[in-house]
Amino acid sequence: MPAKPNKTCLQMPEKLKERLYPVVLDLFSSQDFHRVNIREISRQSGISSGTIYKYFPSKEQLIFGILDEKISWISRTVAVHIAGMDSIREIFRKVFWVTFDFYDQNPGLAVTAFITVPMRTWMKDKSYCRKDDLSLLKNHIKRARERGDIDPALTFSQIMDAYYMICHRYIHNWYFEGMTWKLTEKFDGFFTLFWKMIRPIANA
């Protein structure tokens, strides 16, 4: 989940983003990463290569910047949806639902982020680590552990690892099956699996 958008993205005028971003996501979600180049992005968006390079020094910075900015919407929306909620089970359920609903509405972004982008390269970029999302859930998890609502033997990192593993696996399955169904339609099974991983042993 996301970190703050990098400054490069924020400097680009919204009118240019509206022309550029859809083209970039369409190309990256329909082709292998190494086949996409700035020249083709420029041709399809009608924005000169010089203008694109003014804001993004490379195609890697371009796609990472777009992913960072777009995915940051998830954490902002999650914060609104879980405000006032107390049940850790329902909080995580809402987090999963908001995430998958977002990707249902932005399938090209989902494919780009989970399938196309080379993870080794993305991991070196600051946009990959999403600490603001972790802090959003940290206090909820701490209170749930104190109440015995989740397995106290699990660390915060282990719980978040389980969340990310479920998300990645679910989206990979969705892509493998041709994206013929909505992520929000079948997430109950995956959420049930996640909850079994973190709930108290006594409730197993």
CATH of the domain at 57: 1.10.357.10
Please tell me the pTM assigned to this model.
0.81
Is residue 98 assigned to a domain? yes
Domain count, the chain: 1
Is residue 1 assigned to a domain? no
Is residue 188 assigned to a domain? yes
Instruction: State the residue range of the domain holding 120.
Output: 7-203
**Is 3 a residue whose pLDDT tops 60?**
no
Rounded to the nearest angstrom, the gap between the alpha carbon of residue 86 and the centroid of all alpha carbons in its chain is 24
Give the model's pLDDT for residue 110. Answer: 94
Give the model's pLDDT for residue 104. Answer: 95
**Is 1 a residue whose pLDDT tops 70?**
no
Cα 89 from Cα 204, distance rounded (Å): 14
Q: Mean pLDDT over residues 179-204, rounded?
A: 87
Is residue 2 assigned to a domain? no
Angle at 137 between CA 182 and CA 119, to 5 degrees: 60
Is residue 78 assigned to a domain? yes
Give the model's pLDDT for residue 5. Answer: 40
